[in-house]
Amino acid sequence: MKFIYVFDPLCGWCYGFTPVVLQLQQLHSTMEFEVLSGGMIAGANKHPWSSMAAYIQREHTNVEEMTGVKFGPSFLEKLLPSAEMMDSEKPSVALTVFKTYQPENALSFAHDMQVALNYDGISLNNDDTYRKLIRKFGLPEDEFISKLHEEHYHQETRQEFDLVHNWGITGFPAAILDTGGQLYLCARGFMPLDRLQQTIDKIIQETNSL
């Protein structure tokens, strides 16, 4: 049984949903958890944060009220109005590289990236951001940064984008339960922990009755 969390590092609703998935992981120590990047803003879709500022300024309060996360003033007042580019690829590549070291901590690293962006207002386009984020995990900094620029990891990340797209998932967050023989979509958009657990229990019950 595997829980597959499909997210994007720049997605505000994912920022709110990742803590829920972390709680779920703590409750299910025997279940495998995998994090996949969806490629929400990549390639020709890249644009400056300022182009989304009006929308995010309106929407972020809904995310806060429903999920309990907070967006920091450094994000709302400094990064959001800036010309800094929104680009999902680099943080997604960072997650791909991270998973080669500590796949069991991929969720924690994904959340750390989201906090750095959405609360601390730190760009995920800069190498130094990842130097700081990986220190708590004890990873080799120079080696990690070198891998961030290797084409192999970029190709692997784009293949992950393609996999998610081929599943028909174009909105984030989303979650899939892999029962070993079948994939079940168990979350599309934010879902509180109790509802997510009920959905998983129902899928498991139906699978066991087959």
Q: Residue 86 in 3-state DSSP? A: strand
Confidence of residue 210 (pLDDT cuts 50, 70, 90): low
Residue 209 has pLDDT above 80, yes or no: no
**Where does the pLDDT of residue 43 fall: very low under 50, low under 70, confident under 90, or very high at 90 and above?**
confident
How large is the average pLDDT for residues 86-107? Answer: 97
Angle (CA) 25 3 98, round 5°: 75
Please tell me the predicted confidence (pLDDT) of residue 166: 96
Average confidence (pLDDT) over 153-161: 97
Flag whether pLDDT at 91 surpasses 90: yes
Tell whether the model's pLDDT for residue 32 goes beyond 90. yes
H-helix or E-strand spanning residue 62 = helix 53-67
pLDDT number for residue 161: 97
Rounded Cα–Cα distance for residues 129 and 72 (Å): 17
Superfamily of domain 29-168: putative protein disulfide isomerase domain (1.10.472.60)
- What mean pLDDT is predicted for residues 135-162? 98
Sorting pLDDT into bands at 50, 70 and 90, what band is 208? confident
- Rounded CA-CA distance 31/174 in Å is 18
Judge whether residue 181 has pLDDT over 90: no
Delimit the domains of the chain by residue range. 29-168, 173-210
| pLDDT level of residue 45 (50, 70, 90 thresholds) | confident
If you average pLDDT over residues 81-110, what whole number do you get? 97
**Spatial CA neighbour of 96 closest among 154, 162, 11, 135:** 154
Q: What is the rounded CA–CA span in Å between residue 114 and residue 164?
A: 20
Q: What mean pLDDT do residues 89-95 have?
A: 98
Do 65 and 104 form a contact (C-beta atoms < 8 A)? no
**Any idea which of 18-22, 135-139, 165-169, 206-210 has the lowest mean pLDDT?**
206-210
